[in-house]
Amino acid sequence: MTSPRDVHDSGSGRHAPASDSDADRPAMRRLREGIPASPGIVIAPVRVLRMEVPQVPHGGVIPEERIEAEIDRFRKACDAVREQIRTLQRATREQLGPVEAQIFEPQLVMLEDPELIDGTELNIRENHLTAERAFEWRVLEWEAQWSHTAHPMVLDKLNDLDDVEGRVLRYLMGVPEPELASLVDDQMVIVVARDLTPSVAAQLNPARVLGLATDEGTRTSHSSILARSLHIPCVVSIEGLSETVRDGDELILDGRTGRVIIHPDDDEKAHYRDLDFQMREWEQELLLLAHLEPTTQDGARVDMRANIDLPGEAQGARSHGAQGIGLFRTEFLVVGRSSFPPEEEQYRAYRQVLEAFPDHPVVIRTYDVGGDKFPAFLHMPKEENPFLGWRAIRLCLDEPEFFKAQLRALLRARAHGDLRIMLPMVTQLSEVIETRRLIAETSEELRLAGHSTDPECPVGAMIETPAAALIASELASHVDFFSIGTNDLVQYTLAVDRGSSRLAHLYNPFHPAVVRLIHHVAQVGQERGVEVAVCGELAAHPLGAFLLIGMGIPSISVGPAALAEIKKVIRSIHQKKAAVALDEILSAETSEAVVQILTEHLRADLDLDRFALSLWGAN
């Protein structure tokens, strides 16, 4: 192995590199837990990446006669950086696809934002600052406005701002843009960083970067999305890791469980190599299950559908055995854009997915914007807690022009398959009634314009809050199906931000309150003849799937990668035995008790080796 060396930008900025002194290193905890963001196991040396914002020289005051020239210099820098980002965006589009390339749109929007650009020019005019000092001041002001929140999309905005700031300052100061390839050299490494900006993440080379671990980030952050697209194992939100490890330190990274081990011993390395080998064999076995029926040992059928974020994922979901789409998230059409997406673009995206599943349902969620997703063209209000604010169906009903464009595209696309409309974050019966009124109105407008539409298009409500769960009986009279979004249901029931690493230990889908709410909705569905599906991450957990099947839930929807594994669970168990466990589970007092009961019943119902049980969380 080559001698380790520090890797950092030529100008150190607000984040100082780790000290070279052993005495200055934080106390080492060898086993660290983070958020799994991209699956896979890798054992490799670390390369700590420090892509810091250049430090602007002190002073920076200019005479009045230089003001216009300095403003012109700043504008040229912004133009140059816009072109740099567009070049990187084109390369990303060619390598990974159009949606991954869209990650760079927020940066391009920032470079045209009057608050940032005009504010910088005002600093130059009024304070006689150099362009770099004026821009740095304005960025600091923006950061101060956003830094009080830990919401994932706000963190992505801060990361985008870091990227833009670094590029503009490097241009103004004559510092060349660093290339990731030169920083990693020709070694095969696990890159460790505080976080990765989009422009760095897009340069990751899977032949050299075997894994990625970051101090910050979430599963939906830009670096996570790009890591999954590149099939690079990734763990995020490992607090302080980049300040703990050094170049050359050996690391085990498990992107499936979110675990890293620093300085592993020989036994640990042997165990994880064996685990990696077994997982690869396991995955091959699971592929053989893709097109078998999802039926339990005692003949209960469970519809297996897929959750997707992009139209291009539909074919992959079908090849993994999906029997339709249970959740098609449509936010990719709006996030990072400066204007409404054209109706025709929306229609083509929906049609593409429907044509991949001509004989199965495709459930399309209307825009769940707000919260952690901020389309620039909506001019979102500043809110102390945007997850409890103007978002999802509330926002759509308040913006009928925006909402009806999506409804028109959805109703037109229904001509190509079994399209079903799903409304996010429903908490009021009136939200469903008003949406149905808009659908009828939109359908009539389309009919008059010569389009063939179906005014009886099925409409469902996502059950993501305790309020929606508790009024399920009332909602059942006005919807055609329920889909339980367990990710938000856990968050809102337990008052735990699911993006917070500090509170991660409290975010538990097996909490008795969550389990009882899901069971209540399942009972309402059975009594009222309304289909109940589950599309949250609980359905992708083998213990969760066992629980849901015991409740008699007829349809579950998971990410394409989890389809075969959950199908194996379904085909391995007895629905009646899972139902027997339910009374005991509903009387459990703690999350730990729920998991223990599920584990014991799952183990009793299965004849699997220890490896399979450990993968299924039943060990």
Any catalytic annotation for residue 535? yes
In a domain, residue 57? The reply is no
My answer on whether 32 and 149 are in the same domain is: no
Q: Whole-model pTM?
A: 0.70
Say if residue 484 is in the same domain as residue 534.
Answer: yes
Regarding whether 139 and 32 lie in a shared domain, the answer is no
Among 280, 305, 321, which residue terminates a domain?
A: 280
157 & 185 share domain: no
Identify which of 221, 231, 172 has the alpha carbon closest to the alpha carbon of residue 195: 221
Same domain assignment for residues 461 and 378: yes
Q: What is the pLDDT of residue 183?
A: 63
- Count CB-CB contacts under 10 A for residue 6: 11
Buried b (16+ CB within 10 A) or exposed e, 19-50: eeeeeeeeeeeeebbbbbbbbbbbbbbbbbbb
With respect to residue 262, please indicate whether it lies within any of the assigned structural domains: yes
**Pair (408, 361) in one structural domain:** yes
Residue 78: active-site member: no
Domain match, 144 and 275 both: no
Short-list 161, 157, 160, 165, CA closest to 380:
157
Q: Is residue 269 assigned to a domain?
A: yes
Nearest one of 244, 250, 247 to 263, comparing CA atoms: 250
391 plus 437 within the same structural domain = yes
Q: Name the domain count of the chain.
A: 3
- The HSE-up count of residue 145 (CA atoms within 13 Å, CB side) is 12
- What whole-number distance in Å separates Cα of residue 71 and Cα of residue 67? 6
- Please check whether residue 241 is in contact with residue 190, taking contact to mean a CB–CB distance below 8 angstroms: no
Q: Give a yes or no: residue 56 inside a domain.
A: no
Catalytic residue among 8, 234, 535, 541: 535
401 vs 387: CA distance, rounded Å: 23
State how far the Cα of 286 lies from the Cα of 568, in Å rounded to an integer.
7
Q: Where are the alpha helices (DSSP H) in 364-485?
A: 392-398, 400-413, 429-448, 466-470, 472-475
Tell me the residue range of the domain where 576 lies: 289-615
Structure confidence at residue 2 (pLDDT): 31
**184 and 169 within one domain:** no
Residues 119 and 197 in one domain: no
- The enclosing H or E element of 20 equals none
The verdict on residue 101 lying in a domain is yes
CA count, 13 A, side-chain hemisphere, 139: 24
Are 163 and 73 in the same domain?
A: yes
Q: What is the CA radius of gyration of the chain?
A: 26
pLDDT at 19: 38
End-to-end Cα spacing for the chain:
37
- The counts of H helices and E strands in the chain are 25, 17
pLDDT of residue 532: 97
* CA–CA–CA angle 190, 192, 194 (5° rounding): 165
Choosing from 8, 222, 519, 541, the catalytic residue is 222
Question: Which residue ranges of the chain lie beneath pLDDT 50?
Answer: 1-27, 149, 151, 609-611, 619
Do the domain assignments include residue 166? yes
